[in-house]
């Protein structure tokens, strides 16, 4: 799909500042975009990315226009405009049955009622059980084993010696939405993929969302239990293990050799360093920069009460020190 900046401006009700005839073939992040790609910048937080971008066009508001080094599409609500334009660059996969003639199956063992799309490449000595769906342009490595009812959506890449349990969905749409001024939601079409390394195991009914613009990444040797949700743009480092019912929100990075207990909730846009252990039912809501064992469990309570409790919890060590000094003075 190819659009000029002028055509894109009409689709999102933007004003073009610069060359409206520039042709755009895809959307990318401000950091990685080239002169044939479109990007967006939502706030001053990403000012340096905007200043250094090489994109052919940038969706910005008027406050950021002065920092834009290239052609600009000026709108009032950048995130909403981005959400709308993503759908014009989303490649749709048409429903199909059986094994497409362009698929390279390399004599894989393929069960009944499987669907394998266009330009799929399957490695040697791979086994695909019944009712598996593999959409267009997927790459699957050697010695993989896909259990029944696995779904791998378009464009995903999976390495060697990967075991995927029943009911897993890889490459599902991420949960990204933008609200308009009438409080209606507009879904963001996710244009990235999922890239899974070698020697990975994925438990039953786990879901891994595709990235918004960049790829969601599961590195070599990762172990995922059943019923885990991994959101868009998450990166999981080598040899990390995650227990059942854990949810990881978008754009969070886990380091190498981490161990995450069951029912852990990890907030988005965080960085967790290597060699971190998180105990079951914990909530991670800030970066972890030091290896070690972490626990964060509290009983449910009204939010206002939790704010007060949290305020005192972080002061407990200071209170204890103060009381110890008082006691020492009394004894003296």
Helix locations, the chain, DSSP H: 5-12, 47-52, 78-86, 303-313, 316-331
Distance CA 254, CA 258 (A): 7
37-40 and 109-110: which strand pairing? Answer: unpaired
Residue 24 contacts residue 57 (beta carbons within 8 Å)? yes
Distance CA 15, CA 17 (A): 6
Around Cβ 145, how many Cβ atoms within 10 Å?
Answer: 17
Catalytic residues, by residue number, are: 232
Closest CA to 134 of 164, 114, 159, 148: 114
Distance CA 231, CA 247 (A): 8
Cα angle value 218/27/191 (rounded, 5°): 40
């Amino acid at each position: 799909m190819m659009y000029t900046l002028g055509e894109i401006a009409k689709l999102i009700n933007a004003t073009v500042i610069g060359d409206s005839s520039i042709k755009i073939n895809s959307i990318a992040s401000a950091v990685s975009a080239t002169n044939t790609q479109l990007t967006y910048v939502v706030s001053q937080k990403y000012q340096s990315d905007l200043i250094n971008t090489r994109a052919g066009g940038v969706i910005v508001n008027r406050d950021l226009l002065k920092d834009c080094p290239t052609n600009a599409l000026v709108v009032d609500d950048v995130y909403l405009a981005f959400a709308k334009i993503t759908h014009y660059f989303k490649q749709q996969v048409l429903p199909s049955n059986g094994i497409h003639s362009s698929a390279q199956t390399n004599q894989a063992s393929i069960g009944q009622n499987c669907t394998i799309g266009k330009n799929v490449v399957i490695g040697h000595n791979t086994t695909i059980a019944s009712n598996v769906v593999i959409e267009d342009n997927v790459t699957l490595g050697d010695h993989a084993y896909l259990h029944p009812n696995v779904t791998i959506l378009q464009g995903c890449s999976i390495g060697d010696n990967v075991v995927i349990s029943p009911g897993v969905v890889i490459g599902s749409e991420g949960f990204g939405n933008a609200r308009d001024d009438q409080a209606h939601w507009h879904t963001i079409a996710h244009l990235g993929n999922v890239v899974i390394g070698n020697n990975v195991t994925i438990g039953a009914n786990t879901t891994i969302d595709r990235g918004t613009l960049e790829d969601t990444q599961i590195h070599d040797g990762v172990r995922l239990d059943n019923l885990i949700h991994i959101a868009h743009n998450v990166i999981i480092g080598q040899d990390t293990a995650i227990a059942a019912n854990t949810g990881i929100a978008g754009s969070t990075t886990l380091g190498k050799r981490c161990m995450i207990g069951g029912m852990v909730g990890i907030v988005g846009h965080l960085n967790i360093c290597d060699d971190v252990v998180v105990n079951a039912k914990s909530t991670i809501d800030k970066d972890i920069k030091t290896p070690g064992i972490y626990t964060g469990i509290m009983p449910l309570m009204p939010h206002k009460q939790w704010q007060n409790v949290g305020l005192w919890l972080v002061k407990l060590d200071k209170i204890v020190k103060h009381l110890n000094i008082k006691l020492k003075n009394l004894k003296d």
